């Protein structure tokens, strides 16, 4: 279930925890797919792992999370398309970035 909060500006914000399950984790090709997907929405999407966080639209930022297989991350989305963006990002992660059959 997605957690819904509102910001002071009343912009919807959603968050969800998800586990990285593909064998190579959030590597360059996966980060690029995620960054491209993130730019398709009118939303700010952030991935958080422990004390680190990165914009989903930044390949370099995503790589700096060092998210390997089995790591639990929090995906946060805020903006007009926040709910759809969160669902799309979580689907891509759950689908192992379309890399494994």
Residues taking part in catalysis? 27
**Angle, CA of 28, 41 and 51, to the nearest 5°:** 50
Distance linking the first and last C-alpha atoms of the chain:
26
User: Which residues share a beta bridge with 76?
Assistant: 15, 46
């Amino acid at each position: 279930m997605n957690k819904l909060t509102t910001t002071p500006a009343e912009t919807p914000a959603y968050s969800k925890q998800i586990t990285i399950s593909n064998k190579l984790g959030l590597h360059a090709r996966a980060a690029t797919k995620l960054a491209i997907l993130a730019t398709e929405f009118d939303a700010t999407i952030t991935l958080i792992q422990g004390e680190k966080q990165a914009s989903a639209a930044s390949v370099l930022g995503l790589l700096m999370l060092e998210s390997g297989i089995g790591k639990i991350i929090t995906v946060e989305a805020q903006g007009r398309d926040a709910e759809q963006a969160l669902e799309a990002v979580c689907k891509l992660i759950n689908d192992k970035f379309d890399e494994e059959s």
